[in-house]
Amino acid sequence: MRTTMKAAVFTGKGRITLQEKPVPVPRAGEALLRVTATTICGTDVHILKGEYPVRSGLTVGHEPVGVIEALGPGVAGFEVGQRAIVGAITPCGQCNACLEGFHSQCGGKPLGGWRLGNTIDGCQAEYVVIPYAAANLALVPDGISDEQVLLCPDIMSTGFGGAENGRVRIGDLVAVFAQGPIGLCATAGARLMGASQILAVEGVAKRIQISKQMGADVVIDFHESSPVEAILELTGGRGVDVAIEALGTQETFESCLRVLRPGGTLSSLGVYSGKLTLPLDAFAAGLGDYRVVTTLCPGGRERMRRLMNVVSSGRFDPRPLITHRFELDQIEAAYDLFANQRDGVLKVMITP
């Protein structure tokens, strides 16, 4: 077996470079995955820009598809050579937060379940060690390609989670603000949960087109009209049952509040920077029976199994969201394209 590997490493603000690192050895309870596909997340771009702090020398990336290369002591139920995916969130499955069902907050602290590419080396590399392997390795069914399951670890789980935590019900009216990869998956998730009408907000022509493919009934171009006014008009002044915020700005958060019916739910998926404020009128001074919920990508083996079931059933095809493909040797070019949102990019597929 090889002793060194290529890895995308954060070396300082504005610098993620390809380096040689030792191939890690799994310890007790861990597994070594040979990465066959991965991708770049918007959070990785925050790391690149120095907007989210990680240590210098960290291998980045948290969306792995691969083949089990080695198993540490104590890992049962898996075999070397099996194909597997691992969620962006890798819960221990044993702490209070996990036992209460909040795997993303593993360890009892915010974001505690996000380890890969955050507190330990991630998967934009040829190999990655998976912590708590028994709780996190999910075997890929035969007949499903890497491309089909690549988005399950993060954006599919996050976007669907926005619809699930928003408690979308059969017959609901749903608004989704922003149709980037997360928002597109939220649109697809709301449709799967039974929404009768989905009103999406977007301003990029290609994303408007894919939004309709993902299940949006109407896509409002915010360059052409006020999304709040358009949504209220389309719902006869009633407002929507659930508004999903998938961008992470004050404007979109506030707009979600303004299109909710009394007693409606704002499901927040955005990552906010700076101070987020609640306008008194939109929030009905706190008396509108509104429900505001947040979601960090649900992870763990069972979550991944369920998402792969949705893909294998044909009820959701994530492949249209993968717009560009690179080899690991081209990772710096892939970051340049993705970070600057050129050429209609949605998601990139990286193959070591």
CB-based contact 112:43 (threshold 8 Å): no
If asked whether residues 23 and 122 sit together in one domain, one would say: yes
CB-based contact 60:125 (threshold 8 Å): no
Q: In the beta sheet, which residues pair with residue 129?
A: 32
If asked whether residues 172 and 193 sit together in one domain, one would say: yes
User: pLDDT, tens digit, for every residue of 196-250?
Assistant: 999 999 999 999 999 999 999 999 999 999 999 999 999 999 999 999 999 999 9
CB-CB neighbours of 308 under 10 Å: 20
Residue 307 lies in a domain: no
Residue that has been written with the tokens 């819960």 in this structure: 91
Amino acid (one-letter) located at 121: D
**Confidence (pLDDT) at 273:** 80
**CATH assignment of the domain containing 67:** 3.90.180.10
pLDDT averaged over every residue in the chain = 96
Range of the domain at 55: 4-151+318-351
Q: In the beta sheet, which residues pair with residue 175?
A: 199, 243
Dihedral sign for Cα atoms in the order 111, 112, 118, 122: negative
User: pLDDT, tens digit, for every residue of 130-181?
Assistant: 999 999 999 999 999 999 999 999 999 999 999 999 999 999 999 999 999 9
| CA pair distance 186, 164, nearest whole angstrom | 9
If asked whether residues 126 and 163 sit together in one domain, one would say: no
Is the full-model pTM beyond 0.75? yes
If asked whether residues 204 and 323 sit together in one domain, one would say: no
Into how many domains does the chain fold?
2
User: pLDDT, tens digit, for every residue of 257-305?
Assistant: 999 999 999 999 998 888 899 999 999 999 999 999 999 999 999 999 9
Q: How buried is residue 330: exposed, middle or buried, by Cβ count under 10 Å (0-12/13-18/19+)?
A: middle
> What values do phi and psi take at 16, rounded to 5?
-125, 115
**CATH assignment of the domain containing 228:** 3.40.50.720
**Confidence (pLDDT) at 272:** 87
Residue 303 lies in a domain: no
| CA pair distance 78, 31, nearest whole angstrom | 10
One DSSP character per residue, 157-204 reads HHHHHHHHHTT--TT-EEEEE--SHHHHHHHHHHHHTT-SEEEEEE--
CB-CB neighbours of 36 under 10 Å: 16
Residues contacting residue 347 through CB under 8 Å, at least 6 positions apart:
39, 40, 150, 151, 155, 181, 321, 322, 323, 324
If asked whether residues 278 and 170 sit together in one domain, one would say: yes
| CA pair distance 121, 128, nearest whole angstrom | 7
pLDDT range class, residue 75, cuts 50, 70, 90 = very high
User: pLDDT, tens digit, for every residue of 22-34?
Assistant: 999 999 999 999 9
If asked whether residues 146 and 183 sit together in one domain, one would say: no
Residue 311 lies in a domain: no
One DSSP character per residue, 71-97 reads E-TT--S--TT-EEE--SS---S-SHH
Residue 215 lies in a domain: yes
| CA pair distance 175, 227, nearest whole angstrom | 10
Q: Is the pLDDT of residue 1 over 80?
A: no
Mean pLDDT of 110-130: 97
**Confidence (pLDDT) at 271:** 86
CB-CB neighbours of 119 under 10 Å: 14
CB-based contact 7:16 (threshold 8 Å): no
